[in-house]
Structure 1
């Protein structure tokens, strides 16, 4: 384009003519090429034709978003890994449940320590939260030991189903200590859960003494069922403590207290019981390693699922634990659950699903 002097530009402005030069021959092709080069493509804009803006940016954001159902798949995978871990706990019968818990704590400690050093969170925590972290560690590790004992004492399906009563106890304890609202729906879910637990445990004062006569191992079953129920209560208290702590403490530090308190508790209990013994069978050693691996994998995928999916949907898919427990019990132990267990499971699972759907509905308003 030909340069224009200032005087000519001023004359044209005064006369009302547009400030446009007449291009010389041959420059029309250049300007056309420039227009084509600067014309924004689909999704582009005139200010930044080479960068995505507007709808194009939204399209790329949708492409980068996780695919639909990925969070549910993570939850399903987490439920499967937890169920396989509980299957290995059930398989290891020559090692006490407390010792299995101790091995798992050692395994997790080897992973948590490098994570704490990398994140620079320290090993003690904030001064005002240490008592809550200690309680979380003691109660959480006690819940783990009781659940492992329940797996070894009663059937895999019964222990898993009873442990699913945890959300009901969480609502009650949160109402007492955190002043959270306890609605009539929560009372209905509590009644369903209690009914399911009663059908699974089948106490003799309700079902008659013939229950003990038909089931030779009923006393052992009763101990395992009671351990699973106490596990649910301790796990509920642990969840309430975690709600109380909130985001003021790094979650890795919370797991660290859980591991340290659990290992200390296991060593003391094993010293009192005199049950400490290294596994003699190589297969049991493999099972102990797999228990730690599958337990850790289940925690990781569950955390990833909660990050990208609604909590209500995750809670619904989490009920697949019960399905896997029934399948594993039939396939690996050739133990077909009784109709009492099936009925109790339906009550507990219905209560969990109802609570999850209600929370999902409330959050979507």
Structure 2
């Protein structure tokens, strides 16, 4: 009897099971609007040159089947993406719409994890195994002046992806937030890995390794938005590292030999998710990010050879809800 009372007490007082409730035939129509501002400066370029880019797309997700386990088979389609380069001193804004045809049959778990992806072969009317599409090559989307140095610096390009949250399907806002495995109360936190970056090892005496970079989620509880009740989850990401240490470890070389003094990477991101209180589908999400990276060479001392300030924002809305 005492055990039953203890269990009843343990799971009372606001415990909520945050898990997706899928219905066969339900269709989600999403709009994603993203913006990034990059200001680049450096040696012989003391004043930052701002360049802007918008990446916008609409997507649909149709629930084809719901299994007894709660997993759903969904048909995801993203037909086009529109890129808008910001106005410069030389030219007005430029808009271009690309046909991308990102069409997949996905297995989606109740905690919003994409567990399988099969590419839809439109020509043959069948599905074809192909795994998830690779993350967007944001470097290729940016103006040439912003790509020149970054084509060598994969670490810096990853900051652009994190600033926009429109990379691989699993990391895009349509399939977030990742939900916890257990029932939670307001204030509960959990983590999911979103990237890998060189970071200092604890107790490693100055050594670094490529370690997981986690997005930390927090269940805020119920909130009111435009007179409607939602379940709110927030997420934060923080990165502050010097990748030069890792580069030198991998090359077994010293700064005097490579000429590389520092490769500093910083990023702070915050995302607010509002979920349907019955189905826990994402109704709205707003991500804001600020970061920077700088490349320092031994011969230039403390003056960065290249430095970029990055500001990004992405907003997802579910139409007709």
The TM-score range, normalised by the shorter chain, is: under 0.3
Choose 1 or 2 for highest CA Rg: 1
Give the alignment's TM-score, normalised by structure 2. 0.27
